[in-house]
Structure 1
């Protein structure tokens, strides 16, 4: 497997872990995916700068999230900005008794020296239909 293909597979695994930790309401597992200097903008526009702010928010909201449904995440496009930096477009679908709703997150991820990919800059955007 070439380096780019291996990196894409590793990035897809990070996104799969985002899904798994969201489903499990596992705040610590989710937080392990972030770079210490990460920047996160929630689907409601709240800007969280740095790991501590992301951790405080996540620990407060994740345990109660998706209480009546489930969520799926799928990588739809990966663009390498440099060999160790990738922009990753994700399709996020929340499934609930009230119906499905969709998000379109953009993750800028960086690869550490050990090859692991981390979330560095993330924008979670709701998709409005109609």
Structure 2
């Protein structure tokens, strides 16, 4: 059986919920809620290219940058492409848009979230946050 033969409706909804939880945690500057979305052995590459290996490094970075992150605006996150590599592994492309408090678009990102399903729960496991260059 291939992953395309499976009914993945519930998994897709759960993945959308994780991305929504990322947005909510970022907007609230809630480091604990954000970090709860990660696999303990996760890796993350920031939009600035910094490689973070494991939840301890992701936590240290997040706790340093998240407080005050919304002082100039906020970001929205929308999953627009999901490919199941296996039933418990998904590649998720996210449309990330940064707005100032007046609602004007300031920048865009194009993260790739590699997610794994662990004990029935989808977690961020290998992720790359990539800014979109203005053209």
> TM-score band, normalised by the shorter chain?
over 0.9
Structure 1: segments with no counterpart, 5+ residues: none
With the length of structure 2 as denominator, give the TM-score of the two structures.
Answer: 0.91
Residue number in structure 2 paired with 1:60: 64
Alignment of 1:1-130 (within 5 A): 3-96=7-100, 99-113=105-119, 115-130=120-135
Q: TM-score, normalised by structure 1?
A: 0.95
**Structural RMSD (CA):** 1.2
Shift of 1:129: 1.4
* Cα distance in structure 2, aligned partners of 1:117 and 1:50: 17
Unaligned runs of 5+ in 2: 1-5
State the distance in 1 between where 2:42 and 2:50 align: 14
Tell me, in whole angstroms, the C-alpha distance in 2 between the residues paired with 1:88 and 1:50. 20
Shift of 1:70: 1.2
Aligned length: 128
Cα distance in 1 for residues equivalent to 2:57 and 2:71: 23
Instruction: Give the secondary structure class of the aligned counterpart of 2:61.
Output: helix
Q: Deviations over 1:76-123 (max 9, x none)?
A: 10000000000000000010157421000000000012x110000000
In 2, the alpha carbon distance for the partners of 1:67 and 1:117 equals 30
| Distance in 2 of aligned mates of 1:18 and 1:63 | 15
Distance 2:33 2:105 in 1: 27
Q: What is the distance in 2 between the residues matched to 1:99 and 1:121? A: 27
